[in-house]
Amino acid sequence: MNQSIYLLEFKLFFRNKAAMAGILILLISGFAGLYFGEKFIRQQDIVIEKASQTQEKNTGTNLKHFGKDPGLFLYHNKFSMVNVPDRWAAFANGQRDINPYLISVSMLAVEGQIYDTDLVNPSTLLLGNMDLAFVFIFLFPLVIIAFCYNLLSADQESGVWAILKSQSGALSALIWRKFSVRIISVFTVAMVLMTSAIFYLKLPLDGRLLLILTLLSLYLLFWFSLSFWVISRGKSSNYNAVLLISFWVVLNIISPAILNVWLTQQYPVPEALETLVKQREGYHEKWDLDKSKTMDKFYAHYPQFKQYPFPSELSFSWYWYYAMQQMGDDEASAGARSMAEKLNKRHDFTNLTALFLPGIQTQLRLNELAGSDLENHLKFQQAIKAYHEQIRLYFYPVVFKEETLANVAWDEFKVAQYKGHTTGYVWQNLASVFILSLLFSILAVYNFKRKTSLF
Amino acid sequence: MKTIFIIARRTWKTAFSNRATIALTLILGIALCLATFIGWQNFKIQNSQRLKYKELVREKWLEKPDKHPHRMAHYGYLAFRDKHELSFFDFGIESFAGVSIFLEAHKQNTVNFSEAGFSNGMLRFGEMSVAMVLQLLVPLLIFFLGYHSISAEREAGTLKIILCQGVSWRQLLSGKTLGIIAVSFSLFIPVILLTVLLWAMLSNWQVSMDASLRLVFLVLSYAVYFIICAGISVLVSAFHSSSKSALTILLVLWVFFAIVMPRITQALGVILYPSPSKMEFSAAIASDLHKEGDSHDPDDPHYAKIKADVLKKYKVDDVKKLPFNYGGYVMAEGEKISAGIYNQHQRELNKTFEQQNSFTVAASYLNPFLAIKNLSMALTAADFKTYMDFQNQAEAYRYGLAQRMNKLQIEKISNTAPGEKEKPLSISRSNWAEQPDFQYTFQPVSSVISNHFWSILSLLCWFSGVLIFLNISSKWVKTI
């Protein structure tokens, strides 16, 4: 009995052209999102694959030209490190288009090299990528709104409600039935898309998948509970549509837009330009200073290199040159640190404010879990700095002793890889979206309990 | 004509008798004022930051002691991208484009430190600016006002009565559209006046002719855009039997045009016109450079020929006997070749980027939102073309600096290199002031208009299309 009523409700729901249209829109845009997201990451994978070959070739050429002079060779030769995209990055491209994923550094000051961007079209960055995460964050709520806004009011406006009311006792059960039909439909579409994503993007079946599924489900439930609350107020279809769209616009467009300008204004990052200037001055001014000043500071940083005799009588030596370069980094390090602190402050601010904006926080958590957020990039930069330090420690003695490059273990300096993602704020996010959903559901149930007789 | 005005006035009055309309208009008005203020604050903070470092860079440059000019060429210059004073109105690509570029000899660097690089992803949801409110939210208000303009009359049965009273469809549609335009303008005009006033006040009444012209074009474009939106909303309402379906269609159009379509067109452009990665780009340049000749190879035919030509011209048998610094001469030659090759590749890259963007321009014939978006960015100098222009001017400056230093080396540095243990050669620091400061100059508004001809045309196409359709649609539209 119960089953057949559900079947009838489904039939009723799908007789509506809007229902089929909504589901089709979600499926088409979802598959488009999968395609574009995957294509974007595949492009990066291809470049990364080529990187080791290119580096090997370039190193060979450099060895041919400058091999006899290690100092000059290291001036020209570059060592690359790549930020390997996670499989999930194809699902949520995040900031991977803005931040470079392949950085090549020579043994010169690292601060002058790691901020170099990739060749990007700023217009593309502005309009953003179309990945599956975008479909979930922006389009699913709209379809949920389209499915729900007239759930009650359509029947009231067509006069069907009066008949239903006189014939059926359990009105709340009826509303719930209609509502669950919509929930089931939307979740089925979501599951179809996620299953396709698992196969198409080759996502690993692990705890992270479960976490992301929970995140997305909660986000969709939030929109259902919000819609539920709006229809529980018993206003007209048009009123509901306008109100729900306004909610969508405020939560997903206006609030983040205001927060962004607020953030830029409250937390400007002059430290970036400061670091740039400091690094450049820190190195270049040493040309005009007494060599011993540079060398004293250099030995204070690396006491272990004191054992190599410094050719102070020469007007130029690579020994001196790399010590000067090192000063560029040493003098910019305070700026770089305060830049990192500023970015952390920004991060905290966004995460705090996003607690009230389900769309933003879900997107931020997806980026985090997919390793395509700013934090991932900052860690990548740290990894490059560490790699650069490793290169220095290996090659400084070679240059200082004027050894040949013949004995270098080149295998240790192949293209280095960085991989990683964080789960930092995911529990706060789950809790906050859950509480928001619960709040609207309770309000809705309260409205229905109080007012069903009035409808 | 009179009938049209009567209908328009009626529409206007009904709209403002609705409390929700007044509330929405007020909210949008406040949002616009807020956006102007924040936009200006942002502009001031960012610009003063860039100005501060720009002055610092100049000061440090002039302070440098006596040096070898080639050291100065490597010390190089830092250039910062200026924000146009109108960028408070529309942020455009501003936050996604780099801010600073290091200009040095032999090497072309990227423009680094964009605001987007400091963002953890929220920036992707957009930034509040006057342009955003006008492009996204005002049309939404217009759609809310217009969706029931005709269909409600039809539902209430008053449509038949109006048409029976001798009002033609054309008059009815024009009147309703005019009424909605009037409502949106009653929000738009005061706010724009306020914006202009605020802008003039904040820039201490020092407003340039070019910027004022840009602003006039902006205001006109937005006015046209609102008329298009009002026309669309009335037409959609006329062709739908119920207000509900008209509202649904309008909302779907809004979401599709403003949120979904821009991403798709750009993504398609990127896929169809792929741009090279940085590594491929540098490799292509390196291989072209290699073809031209290898300055590190003593037997390279190209550089050997340069050497032979110079020796012949000055009738000497060794470069050491030349009356000028031969090292500087070779470097100047090398810089010329490498800069030429680099510029050619950069031009190709920019062409690829423009081809990617051309999709969005072409799509503006299907989507008026894209038309106004492109045009607004261009008029506020926050578009890709301005960014490209900055890169070109910075590269020209870099080349000029490198060649000036090479020239100083050729003319003022002895051709006999000092010994390994001798003091390096240098020239007086008084030469540094010869190199002027980097100053970016914005393109005049006339070139903006010729560069964005297709976007302007698309907006005009939409405008005339809507007007024509309002006049001839009576043929198809149904009364009941």
Query: What is the C-alpha separation between B192 and A220, in angstroms, rounded?
Result: 39
The phi and psi torsions of A146 (rounded to 5 degrees) equal -60, -35
Q: C-alpha distances in angstroms, B405 versus B105, B269, B296?
A: 9, 42, 21
**In A, which residues are within 8 Å of B41 by CB distance?**
265
Runs of H (alpha helix) within A138-206: 140-148, 153-158, 160-167, 171-200
* Residue A192 confidence class, pLDDT cut points 50, 70, 90: very high
Q: What is the pLDDT of residues B93-121, one digit of tens each?
A: 989 999 999 999 988 999 999 989 998 88
Q: What is the pLDDT of residues A135-145, one digit of tens each?
A: 999 999 999 99
User: Do B254 and B140 contact (CB within 8 A), yes or no?
Assistant: yes
Query: Strand A79-83 relative to strand A416-418: parallel, antiparallel, unpaired?
Result: parallel
Structural domain count, chain A = 1
User: Do A230 and A240 contact (CB within 8 A), yes or no?
Assistant: yes
Judged against a pLDDT cut of 70, whether residue A393 lies above it is answered with yes
Decide if A371 touches B, using CB distance below 8 A: no
Would you state the pLDDT for residue A165? 75
User: Do B121 and B100 contact (CB within 8 A), yes or no?
Assistant: no
How far apart are the two ends of chain A, measured CA to CA in Å? 26
Would you state the pLDDT for residue B28? 86
Torsion of CA A175, A179, A184, A185, to 10 degrees: 120
Q: C-alpha distances in angstroms, B476 versus A257, B239, B245?
A: 42, 8, 18
Would you state the pLDDT for residue B298? 62
Query: What is the C-alpha separation between B196 and B188, in angstroms, rounded?
Result: 12
Would you state the pLDDT for residue A96? 93
User: Do A104 and B97 contact (CB within 8 A), yes or no?
Assistant: no
- How close is the nearest chain B Cα to the Cα of A1, in Å? 34
> Residue B118 is which amino acid?
F
- Give the residue from chain B lying closest to A250, CA to CA: B137
Q: What is the pLDDT of residues A68-92, one digit of tens each?
A: 899 999 999 999 999 999 999 999 9
Would you state the pLDDT for residue B22? 83
* Lowest mean pLDDT, pick from A165-179, A240-254, B347-361, B411-425: A165-179
Strands of the sheet with A416-418, listed across from one edge: A102-105, A79-83, A416-418
In DSSP terms, which residues pair with B36 in a beta bridge?
A: none
Residue A79 host element (H or E): strand A79-83
Average pLDDT over residues A191-208: 95
Whether A256 sits inside 8 A of B126 (CB atoms) is yes
Average pLDDT over residues A180-196: 96
pTM exceeding 0.95: no
Decide if B279 touches A, using CB distance below 8 A: yes
Judged against a pLDDT cut of 80, whether residue A167 lies above it is answered with no
Q: What is the pLDDT of residues A357-391, one digit of tens each?
A: 999 999 999 999 999 999 999 999 999 999 999 99
Cα angle for residues A151, B232, B227 (degrees, 5° grid): 130
Average pLDDT over residues B330-340: 91
The pLDDT mean for chain A works out to: 90
* Lowest mean pLDDT, pick from A333-337, A346-350, B19-23: B19-23
* Residue B281 confidence class, pLDDT cut points 50, 70, 90: very high
> Residue B352 is which amino acid?
T
| More confident position, A175 or B469 | B469
Whether A115 sits inside 8 A of B45 (CB atoms) is no
CB proximity under 8 Å: B 29-58 to A = 31, 34-35, 38-39, 41-42, 45-46, 49-50, 52-53, 56-57
Query: Strand B107-108 relative to strand B100-104: parallel, antiparallel, unpaired?
Result: antiparallel
Decide if A214 touches B, using CB distance below 8 A: no
Q: Which of B77, B149, B263 has the most A C-beta neighbours within 10 Å, making it the best mutation to test the interface with A? A: B263
Whether A364 sits inside 8 A of B248 (CB atoms) is no
Q: Number of Cβ pairs closer than 8 Å across A and B?
A: 249
Judged against a pLDDT cut of 90, whether residue A170 lies above it is answered with no
Burial class (CB in 10 A: 0-12, 13-18, 19+), A77: buried
Q: What is the pLDDT of residues B36-49, one digit of tens each?
A: 888 888 888 888 99
Whether A102 sits inside 8 A of B118 (CB atoms) is no
Would you state the pLDDT for residue A137? 96
Query: What is the C-alpha separation between A208 and A31, in angstroms, rounded?
Result: 22
Residue A259 host element (H or E): helix A255-266
Would you state the pLDDT for residue A450? 82
The phi and psi torsions of A434 (rounded to 5 degrees) equal -65, -45
Would you state the pLDDT for residue A404? 87
Q: Which of B60, B124, B274 sits opposite A128 (nearest CB)?
A: B124
Judged against a pLDDT cut of 60, whether residue A455 lies above it is answered with no
Judged against a pLDDT cut of 80, whether residue B335 lies above it is answered with yes
Residue B263 host element (H or E): helix B261-272
Burial class (CB in 10 A: 0-12, 13-18, 19+), B212: middle
Query: What is the C-alpha separation between A398 and B438, in angstroms, rounded?
Result: 40
Query: What is the C-alpha separation between B43 and B90, in angstroms, rounded?
Result: 11
What does the radius of gyration of chain A's CA atoms come to, in whole angstroms? Answer: 30
Average pLDDT over residues B225-241: 94
Q: Which residue has the tokens 């599951």?
A: A191
Give the ipTM of the model, two decimals please.
Answer: 0.90
Q: What is the pLDDT of residues A43-53, one digit of tens each?
A: 999 999 999 89
Average pLDDT over residues B173-183: 93
Would you state the pLDDT for residue A452? 59
Cα angle for residues B39, B44, B49 (degrees, 5° grid): 130
Decide if A19 touches B, using CB distance below 8 A: no
Torsion of CA B215, B218, B223, B228, to 10 degrees: 180
**In A, which residues are within 8 Å of B247 by CB distance?**
238, 241-242
- Give the residue from chain A lying closest to B127, CA to CA: A257
The tokens of B270 are what? 């990127």
Average pLDDT over residues A289-318: 92
Whether A261 sits inside 8 A of B275 (CB atoms) is no
The tokens of A440 are what? 């609207």
* Residue B297 confidence class, pLDDT cut points 50, 70, 90: low
Which domain, by its residues, includes A215? 2-451
* Residue A338 confidence class, pLDDT cut points 50, 70, 90: very high
| More confident position, B188 or B73 | B73
The tokens of A332 are what? 């910019």
Query: What is the C-alpha separation between B384 and B404, in angstroms, rounded?
Result: 30
Judged against a pLDDT cut of 70, whether residue B294 lies above it is answered with no
Would you state the pLDDT for residue B438? 96
Distance, CA of B66 to chain centre: 41
* Residue A409 confidence class, pLDDT cut points 50, 70, 90: confident
Judged against a pLDDT cut of 60, whether residue A454 lies above it is answered with no
The tokens of A37 are what? 């997201």
Decide if B116 touches A, using CB distance below 8 A: yes
* Lowest mean pLDDT, pick from A377-391, B225-239, B275-289, B384-398: B275-289
User: Do B140 and A249 contact (CB within 8 A), yes or no?
Assistant: yes
> Residue A445 is which amino acid?
V
* Residue A412 confidence class, pLDDT cut points 50, 70, 90: confident
User: Do A348 and A65 contact (CB within 8 A), yes or no?
Assistant: no
Q: What is the pLDDT of residues B62-91, one digit of tens each?
A: 999 999 999 999 999 999 999 998 888 999
